[in-house]
Structure 1
Amino acid sequence: MSDVVLTGDRPTGQLHLGHYFGTLANRVALQGVHPMYVLIADYQVITDRDTPGEIQRNITELLLDYLAVGLDPRQVTIFQHSAVPELNQLLLPFLSLVSVAELSRNPTVKDEIAHSSQSAVSGLMFTYPVHQAADILFCKGTLVPVGKDQLPHLEVTRLVARRFNERYGQVFPEPQAMMGASPMLRGLDGGKMSKSRGNAITLAATEDETAALIRKARTDADRLITFDEEHRPEVANLLTLAGLCLGRPPQEIAEEIGDGGAVTLKRVVTDAVNDFLAPIRKRRREHGEADAREVLAEGNERARERAIATLDEVRAAMGF
């Protein structure tokens, strides 16, 4: 049986280079090799905020980013969470398979709670990993391209699949993680790269915006540029970013810069990033909102057909 890939993003803004090297590059490489579902997780936007914000605008921006990086809607199913109600019906039986203690120990949820804009932890935030399990298992996903910080969520999905099968009979596979070239590319301030933390280079950023962001990136006072992740993490992160964009080891780039200092380092990184983003920016300009709406409508229909079939199978296995 062929593997099925499930991946996706919350529509909270434009995607950035951390997304690209963490998961998007894997998606592009895998399309056409395996069946792939790409989820726009709009319901999950309200896990850590009170309102979804400019949800329709963000969904359009996300779709345009997908098309820009090279995702082909003829080969992948791109769909919107709220358009597939059968997917969410899987959440109820799945919640019965995990304990409150198991959910409370999830380190990714703890980090997301710490950076939440809500005054109190919602039930949706607390059960976020189980919600993601429904996202993955509705299409019998077996491969999930993720960043390192999402691995605890995937373990919950594997747990849910295993316990459902033990209790009701074999229905779900236990999905495996697929790691990108840079599972944890840090932001320009040294912390986790995140849209909400304002430390990321978006895929839609202009050349000037990219240069301005990199100029403000943290470095250190040592003029000799070396690649030392332990003692010089900010410098190492910029070298890693340049290396990923150039397809070269960051150590080589550091040796070429030598004693050029932070100014030369940032110039090299800026040129590397802008050259890398040039074809992505070009493809983004070639697509419009009408393209995005058509892609989503077709994907929603295909995803809902799959979700209905899985829900019927789950009901039969449980005896409903």
Structure 2
Amino acid sequence: MPSPEPPHPELSSTVERSRLEAQRRSDLVAERVRTEPASLCVLTGDRPTGPLHLGHLFGSLGNRVRLQQAGVPTMIIIADYQVITDRAGTDRIAEHVRDIVCDQLAVGIDPAKSTMFTHSAIPELNQLLLPFLSLISIAELQRNPTVKAEAAAAGISAISGLLLTYPVHQAADILGVGGTVVPVGLDQLPHLEVTRLLVRRFTEAYGPCFTAPEALLSEAPVVLGIDGTKMSKSRGNAIELRHTADETAALIRRARTDSDRRITYDPQRRPEVSNLVLITSLCTGEEPRAIAERIGDGGAGALKQLTIAAVNEHLAPIRARRRELAAVGDDVLQVVRDGNVVARARATATLDRVTEAMGMIY
């Protein structure tokens, strides 16, 4: 079989320049977080497709708490409408919304500093879709690599209209509540670029109404599930924040490793072993290579025991708080009801500006 052709040098150079420019702008945002946090507004969130897990904790939840504590106004959307972008129905969605609320409050999200709201409760966000959809072509949406990747991950062969227009929905969510900063990974930049494109086109057509949001690039580690693939709610391979200590231990004991008894930290050659070392590091603060060196020839059994102890110790206070929150049942959703009032007021003000700019005040 012939070897694949290497990427074209000009294409590789363009991608690298784009990455460096994105990082430069992200660094400027990070500086503003430090020096003028109140001038920003973060929009972030989750789809309520199941309870949150270790990957979320180290990938996004911890970052939300840090931004909140830095004094950045933070809007957290529970994107319930987006559940049906890649699935046929909304089974257990109310339960999943409660789970997400409990998870976020348990890790330190403070309703006095952050606003948690549900997409379906803010109809003004969907009303913004109409002018935005008029400003982008089907061909542009079809070229979006993130949409293609999400469809492939979900095993979807025929992309629905909702999934195709997902980046435009996200633009409405961000701009509707005044988001100026969106924490993302490099792979999600194409979605945010759609938002920035729509801001430019709306401004050209009707005048200035929006501030183009900036990406705050995440350096979050990729945490693998117990089967060696990316930890995911839908794959059944996740260590959930709500799991008990015994459930966590059972999951970690089942985690894939390899046949080499000596423990090393080598994510490229030994991803499964390195993942357990990384999880231990994230929970304890000890450097991964130091952990691997300390275990040495102890093998996978010793590594798993160390990981179990580290995870359960790290999650113990979060789980205790989560049990308290879960015990109040639907009353915990008052946080979202209050947040919906705040978010809807912001979205209504945005829509008023848009209709005025478009000459639709009668």
TM-score where L is the length of structure 2:
0.84
Q: How far has the Cα of 1:180 moved from its partner?
A: 4.1
Deviations 1:94-115 (A, max 9, x none): 1222222222222322222123
Answer yes or no: is the 8 Å Cα contact 2:51–2:242 preserved in 1.
yes
Q: 1:297 aligns with which of 321, 329, 337?
A: 337
Answer yes or no: is the 8 Å Cα contact 1:242–1:273 preserved in 2.
yes
Q: How far has the Cα of 1:117 moved from its partner?
A: 6.4
SS in structure 2 of the partner of residue 223 of structure 1: coil
1:306 maps to what in 2?
Answer: 346
For residues 351 and 90 of structure 2, what CA distance do their matches in structure 1 show?
A: 27
Counterpart of 1:255, as a letter, is E
Alignment of 1:142 with 2:167, yes or no, is: no
For residues 20 and 146 of structure 1, what CA distance do their matches in structure 2 show?
A: 15
Q: 2:58 aligns with which of 21, 31, 38?
A: 21
For residues 37 and 28 of structure 1, what CA distance do their matches in structure 2 show?
A: 12
Unaligned 5+ segments in structure 1 are: none
User: What is the CA RMSD across the aligned residues, in angstroms?
Assistant: 1.8
Instruction: Point out 4+ residue stretches in structure 1 off by more than 4 angstroms.
Output: none
For residues 311 and 186 of structure 2, what CA distance do their matches in structure 1 show?
A: 22
Q: How far has the Cα of 1:148 moved from its partner?
A: 4.6
For residues 185 and 106 of structure 1, what CA distance do their matches in structure 2 show?
A: 25
For residues 183 and 177 of structure 1, what CA distance do their matches in structure 2 show?
A: 17
1:271 maps to what in 2?
Answer: 309
Alignment of 1:68 with 2:106, yes or no, is: yes
Answer yes or no: is the 8 Å Cα contact 2:98–2:330 preserved in 1.
no
2:224 maps to what in 1?
Answer: 186
SS in structure 1 of the partner of residue 201 of structure 2: helix
2:275 maps to what in 1?
Answer: 237
Q: How far has the Cα of 1:195 moved from its partner?
A: 0.3
Give the number of the structure with larger relative contact order, counting CA–CA contacts within 8 Å between residues 6 or more apart.
Answer: 1
For residues 277 and 145 of structure 2, what CA distance do their matches in structure 1 show?
A: 28
SS in structure 2 of the partner of residue 193 of structure 1: coil
Q: How does 1:107-118 map to 2 (within 5 A)?
A: 107-116=145-154
SS in structure 1 of the partner of residue 228 of structure 2: coil
Alignment of 1:51 with 2:107, yes or no, is: no
Q: How many residues align?
A: 320
2:290 maps to what in 1?
Answer: 252
Residues 155, 188 of structure 1: alpha-carbon distance in 2 compared, 3 angstrom cutoff: farther
Q: How far has the Cα of 1:160 moved from its partner?
A: 2.0
Deviates more, 1:280-289 or 1:97-106: 97-106
For residues 8 and 239 of structure 1, what CA distance do their matches in structure 2 show?
A: 28
Counterpart of 1:10, as a letter, is R
Unaligned 5+ segments in structure 2 are: 1-37
Counterpart of 2:340, as a letter, is N
Q: How far has the Cα of 1:206 moved from its partner?
A: 0.9
2:4 maps to what in 1?
Answer: none
Q: How far has the Cα of 1:4 moved from its partner?
A: 0.2
Deviates more, 1:109-118 or 1:216-225: 109-118
Alignment of 1:123 with 2:161, yes or no, is: yes
Counterpart of 2:51, as a letter, is Q
TM-score where L is the length of structure 1:
0.94
For residues 304 and 187 of structure 1, what CA distance do their matches in structure 2 show?
A: 37
2:116 maps to what in 1?
Answer: 78
